[in-house]
A and B are shown apart, each in its own frame.
Chain A
Amino acid sequence: MRLTQGCFSFLPDLTDDQIYKQVQYCLANGWAVNIEFTDDPHPRSTYWEMWGLPMFDLADAAGVMMELAECRRVYGDRYIRLSGFDASHGWESVRISFIVNRPPQEVEFELLRQEVAGRSVRYTTVRRPPQHVSP
């Protein structure tokens, strides 16, 4: 299953040049850029692990790419995402977020149904254990 969170998951995986341009777009907007990684990409898993602090005050995306390379070296087997954070009044939130690294075998979820009163069903999305391990 291809996890479709983030801004560009329906496009082919971004090349480093494409990532560089998106990061530069964030910097040009005055946003801080944050690198996060996780092995728990559940749709409600908000807090991925932070790879260091968000990067403030950079002029050029090469600095972010340097950290991303390092993060991939250590956590290349996990999901890694970049986000741009806008501290201006009225936003003070993430303004863009996209996946820049996927594990060799993507996560699978399944739906657990608990039948409750009448025809109602309580749904829980859980991670399906890997069916087979890639060589």
Chain B
Amino acid sequence: MNAHTGTVSGKERYRSGVMEYKRMGYWEPDYVPKDTDVIALFRVTPQDGVDPIEASAAVAGESSTATWTVVWTDRLTAAEKYRAKCYRVDEVPGAPGQYFAYIAYDLDLFESGSIANLSASIIGNVFGFKPLKALRLEDMRLPVAYVKTFQGPATGIVVERERLDKFGRPLLGATVKPKLGLSGRNYGRVVYEALKGGLDFTKDDENINSQPFMHWRERFLYCMEAVNRAQAASGEMKGTYLNVTAATMEDMYERAEFAKELGSVVVMIDLVIGYTAIQSMAKWARRNDVILHLHRAGHSTYTRQKSHGVSFRVIAKWMRLAGVDHIHAGTVVGKLEGDPNTTRGYYDICRDDFNPMKLEHGVFFDQSWASLNKLMPVASGGIHAGQMHQLLDLLGEDVVLQFGGGTIGHPMGIQAGAIANRVALEAMILARNEGRDYVHEGPEILAKAAESCTPLKAALETWKDVTFNYQSTDTPDFVPTALAAV
């Protein structure tokens, strides 16, 4: 499939009129990507009858210099450098009519340290291109030269742990429930109970901003009373993600400043505020010694379907560059979408300094992070203490485990729910470090720990073996022997 189609050169190339993209220099099967190139991998689904090579070349063209017709003004530029080059197209294993297109972009096409510019270039126009039925950005290789122009996580896993004095185990959190309707005073009660019980963090939900039932200042004031009380009662650092998401940057800065003045170690934003606002908040967080939690609100609208949109692994990469400290990255066993292998890929992207190509995890490229801070993944949604061994096995120890319902829904109360989670976690870490086969002996280890902890016993009885076993929609498509580019 990857044959030359003959790039037109010289005077012919710039004759007015319409020319196939693959002959304009957007299809260069001999091109070897430079170390400094940005590489994007698209899943291209051409309209019936459209040549996949031409469709892929069109994606390269429309995401870089091309327009629908030849323009003479190209000749005023070093056009060959600026043309994105599709250099490889493969059929997607097991998905007829879909193709993986590898496209390389010269570094000069992008503004330093700007996710807005990077995303406007790569996904700006091309997703609506008519000759394509669907298009998905599966993965990107970000060259070290570009990675180095970004701040990266404001705090990072290492410093977050040092600041909070919490090492060697996942952090525990809970989202305050019900999501909506609690007054500030009632809301703070939930925070206090959960933190006093033994959680490290509580969290606002994505849509808790400043509504008639609870304006943001009320929430902040009561939450910080709760955090400080719990801290004094346990002798341990505590935090609550105060969601500062608001309509304008000015509002967000105001809320973040107030959170900082009240002594909060962490603030929170939603993905829907946009990439520029996220980068601004990351800078603010770095400047003010505050951890920045990101809720990936809205991502499923474009990450979940396999044929069209942007993979969450790309979003995770962008967010590590943009500089948030926490990102929701899936639970595998919980209530939200998450294939184990794909999720593993996301976690690696957040936490490792180097990601080797791993097709079975959906990771298509070697990616060096050039010592950019590590980003703490957050597992949230439909998880409970009885799954502790699976969670530790699947997600590792550098993760925040958010047990919202699993804490607040405990039959003996919120504190008991928090105790159950913390005891289950510590017992599992202890067993793991002792070299026990904790994955298989998990239920046994939990039962043993529950002997001296009634809240854990009650939790295990209440949720027994609740799991959400549905087919994942976003799984990697790969042939184990397939070779990927670069």
Flag whether B261 is at the interface (Cβ < 8 A): yes
- Complex: A125 Cα to B230 Cα, angstroms: 10
Mark contacts of A119-130 with chain B using CB atoms, 8 A cut-off: 1 yes-contact digit, 0 otherwise. 111110100000
User: Residue-by-residue, is A51-85 near B (CB-CB < 8 Å gives 1, otherwise 0)?
Assistant: 00000000000000000000000000000000110
Residues A22 and B161 in contact, CB atoms below 8 Å apart: no
Asked if A21 and B434 sit within 8 Å, CB to CB, the answer is: yes
Number of interface residues of A (CB under 8 A): 42
Check A43 for interface membership: any CB of B closer than 8 A: yes
Q: Given B225, B236, B426, B433, which contacts A11 in the complex, CB threshold below 8 Å?
A: B426
B167 and A83 form a contact (CB under 8 A)? yes
The B contact surface, by secondary structure, is: helix
Q: Is the CB of B263 within 8 A of A123?
A: yes
Q: Is the CB of B430 within 8 A of A8?
A: yes
Question: In whole angstroms, how far apart are the Cα atoms of A25 and B449 in the complex?
Answer: 21
* Contact of B430 with A96 in the complex, beta carbons under 8 Å: no
Q: Are B232 and A125 in contact (CB under 8 A)?
A: yes
Q: Which residues between 1 and 21 of chain A lie within 8 Å of chain B, taking CB atoms?
A: 1, 3-5, 7-12, 14, 18, 21
Contact B419 A1 (CB under 8 A): no
B158 to chain A, nearest CB (A): 5
B234 interface neighbour in A4, A8, A12, A22, Cβ under 8 Å: A4
Q: Does B12 contact A (CB under 8 A)?
A: no
Whether the pair A96, B426 counts as a contact (CB closer than 8 A) is: no
The verdict on B224 contacting chain A, using a C-beta distance below 8 Å, is yes
**Contact assessment for B234 and A3 in the assembled complex, using a CB-CB cutoff below 8 Å:** yes
Q: Are A25 and B433 in contact (CB under 8 A)?
A: yes
Indicate if the CB atoms of A96 and B225 lie closer than 8 Å. Answer: no
Q: Tell me if A105 is interfacial: C-beta within 8 Å of chain B.
A: no
Interface residues as binary, B445-486 with A (CB distance below 8 Å gives 1, 0 otherwise): 000010010000000000000000000000000000000000
Interface residue A32 (Cβ < 8 Å from any Cβ of B): no
Are A93 and B168 interface neighbours, CB within 8 A? no
Instruction: Bits for A30-47, please: 1 = Cβ < 8 Å to B, else 0.
Output: 000000000001111010
Asked if B168 and A95 sit within 8 Å, CB to CB, the answer is yes
- B235, B263, B422: the one contacting A1 at CB < 8 Å is B235
Contacting pair B235 A5 (CB below 8 A): yes
The answer to whether B165 and A22 have CB atoms under 8 Å apart is no
Interface residues in B226-250 (C-beta closer than 8 Å to A): 228-229, 231-237
Residue of B nearest to A96 (CB): B168
Report which of A41, A98, A119 forms a contact with B221, defined as CB distance below 8 A.
Answer: A119
Q: Which residues of A contact B231 (CB under 8 A)?
A: 43, 125
Chain A interface, DSSP helix/strand/loop, else mixed: loop
| Chain A residues whose CB sits within 8 angstroms of the CB of B404 once the complex forms | none
Is B412 an interface residue when CB atoms closer than 8 A count as contact? no
Q: A22 with B236: in contact, given A11-B449, A12-B452, A123-B263 (CB under 8 Å)?
A: no
B232–A7 CB distance below 8 A? no
Q: Which residue of A lies closest to B433 (CB)?
A: A25
Q: Which A residues touch B435, using CB under 8 A? A: 21, 25
Cα distance A111–B449 when bound, in Å? 32
Is B176 interfacial (CB-CB < 8 Å)?
no
Check if B236 sits within 8 Å of A92, measured CB to CB. no
Name the distance in Å between B185's Cβ and chain A's nearest Cβ.
12
Residue-wise, chain A 88-115 has the 8 Å CB interface mask toward B (1 for contact) of 0111111111100000000101110000
Q: Contact between A5 and B427 (Cβ–Cβ < 8 Å)?
A: no
- Asked whether A43 lies within 8 Å of B426 as measured between CB atoms, the reply is no
**With A3-B234, A43-B237, A107-B235 known to touch, is A10 a contact of B168 (CB < 8 Å)?**
no
CB distance from A101 to the nearest CB of B (A): 15
**Which of B161, B221, B236, B434 touches A43 (beta carbons < 8 Å)?**
B236
B430 in contact with A120 (CB, 8 Å)? no
Residues of B within 8 A of A94 (CB): 161-162, 167
Closest 8 CB pairs of A and B: A96-B168, A25-B433, A123-B228, A3-B235, A111-B232, A109-B232, A21-B434, A7-B168
B residues contacting A by CB (< 8 A) are 158, 161-162, 165, 167-169, 198, 217, 221, 224-225, 228-229, 231-237, 261-263, 353, 371, 374, 419, 422-423, 426-427, 429-430, 433-435, 449, 452
Chain A to chain B contacts (Cβ below 8 Å), 30 pairs: A1-B234, A3-B236, A4-B236, A5-B165, A7-B167, A7-B169, A7-B429, A9-B236, A10-B198, A10-B419, A10-B423, A11-B423, A14-B430, A22-B433, A25-B435, A41-B235, A42-B235, A43-B235, A46-B165, A84-B168, A90-B158, A93-B167, A94-B161, A94-B162, A96-B433, A109-B235, A120-B221, A121-B224, A122-B263, A125-B228
